[in-house]
Amino acid sequence: MSALDTVVVPINRAGWPFIALFAVAALLLASLAPRLAWVGIVATAWCIYFFRDPPRVVPQRAGLVVSPADGRVSMITLALPPSELEMGIEPMLRISIFLNIFNVHVNRMPIEGVVTKVAYHPGRFLNAAMDKASEENERMAVRLRAVEGRELGVVQIAGLVARRIVCGLVEDQPVRTGERYGLIRFGSRVDVYLPPDAKPLVVVGQTAIGGETVIADFAGVEPPRVGISI
């Protein structure tokens, strides 16, 4: 990787229409009120920054579950998966990743397997950091069957600012760990539902990196981790 590669980050193609819109608005603002030109420049720069899509180095050992998103681990709890995924009525281990407007918003597959169900659920736009956002907010839920047979759920949840969930998956589609599959605009949350016997390898408050941070290990024997803020 060259020094330039560390500065110039690829932009997700879903962002180019918005970047163009912000740029045109910036030009119009500059022509109408030259003293406010900097407002349009800053807004356009932020839009470019929001849609950045940096490459990631994805762990490849069988059984590893990686974070589907960049952000803060906001909750780790037992919870019922969304009913539309038809994963039963027993609680599963839910790890929630909260994305603020400055995080990378490209979502990635947590594990290798096959997509067995994709279901959209309309809803509200509550603060995605709230626990009830899992049930009440607009969401796109995906059910996965990992290569070793375990069932997982990955749910993109719209937030207070987010108004659009992008998911490029279809049922029966094979996927790889770390593969890009969607995006949420502009601030949101992603929940991962794991079998209840899974041991979380992240802690609440930890910053996760999508496609890189290992959040669970089906093949490991390490106990759940604990953490302190220092």
Active site members: 188
Asked whether 187 and 159 are in contact (CB, 8 A), the reply is yes
What is d(CA 190, CA 152) in angstroms, rounded to the nearest whole number?
A: 13
Q: CA 68 to CA 191: how far, in whole Å? A: 9
- Inter-residue contact 73 to 206 (CB < 8 Å): yes
Distance, in Å, from the CA atom of 96 to the CA atom of 116, rounded to the nearest integer, reads 21
Answer yes or no: are the C-beta atoms of 44 and 65 closer than 8 Å: no
Residue 38 makes CB contacts below 8 A (sequence gap 6+) with none
C-beta of residue 115 within 8 angstroms of C-beta of residue 157: no
Cβ distance 74 to 204 under 8 Å? Answer: yes
Helix (H, G, I), strand (E, B) or coil at 138: coil
Residue written as token pair 């079998």: 195
- Cα(158)–Cα(140) distance, rounded to whole angstroms? 9
Cβ distance 153 to 96 under 8 Å?
A: no
